[in-house]
Structure 1
Amino acid sequence: MTDTTQTVDIPHLGGSTVGYRFGKPYDPSLPTLILNNSFTTSAELFRPQFADEELLKVANLLAIEPYGHGKTHPTYRQFTYWDSAIANLQVLDALGIDQAFAMGTSQGGWIVTQTAMLAPDRIKGIIPLGTSMDRESQQSQALGCWDGTEFCTPAIDALAESVPDDWVVPDEFVIGVLDAGLGDSVSDEDRAFWLDVYRRNYSGDAGRERLRICSINLRDRDSLLARLNSLTCPVLWIHGTADSVYSVANAENGIARFTGSKDAQLKVVEGGQHFLSASDPKEVNAAAVDFISKWK
Structure 2
Amino acid sequence: MDDMTQTISVPHLGTSTVGYRFGKPYNPALPTLVLTNSFTTSVDLYRPQFADESLSDITNLLAIEPYGHGETRATYDQFTYWDTAIANLQVLDALQIPEAFVLGTSQGGWIAARMAMLSPKRIKGIIPLGTSMDHESAQSRELGCWDGIEFCTPSIDALAGSVGDDWVVQDEFVDAVLQAGLGDSVSAEDRDFWLAAYRKHYTGDAGRHRLRVSTINLRDRDGLHARLDGIRCPVLWMHGTADAVYSVRNAERTIPLFVNSVGAELMVVEGGQHFLSASDPDAVNAATTEFIARWR
User: TM-score, structure 2 length as denominator?
Assistant: 0.99
1:32 aligned residue: 32
Q: Give the 3-state SS of the residue equivalent to 1:256 in structure 2.
A: helix
1:9-158 matches, within 5 Å, as 9-158=9-158
**Structure 1 residue 295 corresponds to structure 2 residue 295:** yes
Provide, for residues 233-254 of structure 1, a one-character-per-residue CA deviation record: whole Å limited to 9, x for no partner: 0000000000000000000111
CA contact (8 A) 2:2 2:44 kept: no
CA distance in 2, matches of 1:159, 1:149: 15
Q: What letter matches 1:235 in structure 2?
A: V
| TM-superposed deviation, 1:229 | 1.2
Quote the Cα distance in structure 1 between the aligned partners of 2:147 and 2:166: 32
SS at match of 1:226: helix
Deviations 1:129-161 (A, max 9, x none): 000000000000000000000000000000000
Distance 1:220 1:196 in 2: 28
Pair 1:249-2:249 in alignment: yes
* Equivalent-residue separation in structure 2 for 1:218 and 1:189 (angstroms): 27
Inter-partner Cα distance in structure 1 for 2:50 and 2:163: 36
The residue number in structure 2 matching 1:232 is: 232
Question: Aligned AA for 2:73?
Answer: H
C-alpha deviations, 1:36-95, integer Å up to 9, x for none? 000000000000000000000110000000000000011000000000000110000000
| 1:196 to 2:199 alignment | no
For structure 2, which runs of at least 5 residues remain unmatched after alignment? none
Q: Name the amino acid aligned to 2:143.
A: L
- Provide the rounded CA distance (Å) in 2 between the counterparts of 1:206 and 1:178: 23
Question: 1:143-182 counterparts in 2 under 5 A?
Answer: 143-182=143-182
1:259 aligns to what?
A: 259
> What is the DSSP-based 3-state SS (H/G/I as helix, E as strand, rest coil) of the residue aligned with 2:128?
strand
Distance 1:159 1:3 in 2: 28
Matches within 5 A, 1:214-225: 214-225=214-225
Quick check: 2:134–2:222 contact (8 Å CA) kept in 1? yes
Residue equivalent to 1:280: 280
Q: Aligned-pair distance for 1:2? A: 4.8
Write the distance in 2 (CA, Å) between the matches of 1:293 and 1:265. Answer: 16
Identity across aligned pairs (percent)?
Answer: 72
The worse-fitting range, judged by mean Cα deviation, of 249-258 and 235-244 is 249-258
Gaps of 5+ in 1: none
1:207 maps to 207
The CA deviation at 1:3 is 1.7
Corresponding letter in the other structure for 1:113: A
SS at match of 2:125: strand
Secondary structure in 2 matching 1:124: strand
Equivalences, count: 296
Query: Matches of 1:85 and 1:224 in 2, distance apart?
Result: 14
Which residue identity is paired with 2:224?
A: L
Q: Please give the alpha-carbon distance, in whole angstroms, between the structure 1 residues aligned to 2:255 and 2:2.
A: 38
Which string of whole-angstrom CA distances, capped at 9 and with x for unpartnered residues, describes residues 152-192 of structure 1? 00000000000010000000000000000000110000000
Q: Which amino acid aligns with 1:133?
A: M
Task: Give the equivalent residue in structure 2 for 1:268.
Answer: 268
Structure 2: distance between partners of 1:232 and 1:14: 30
TM-score normalised by length of structure 1: 0.99
- Report the AA paired with residue 80 of structure 2: T
SS at match of 1:55: helix
Amino acid at match of 2:239: H
Question: What is the identity, as a one-letter code, of the residue corresponding to 2:35?
Answer: L
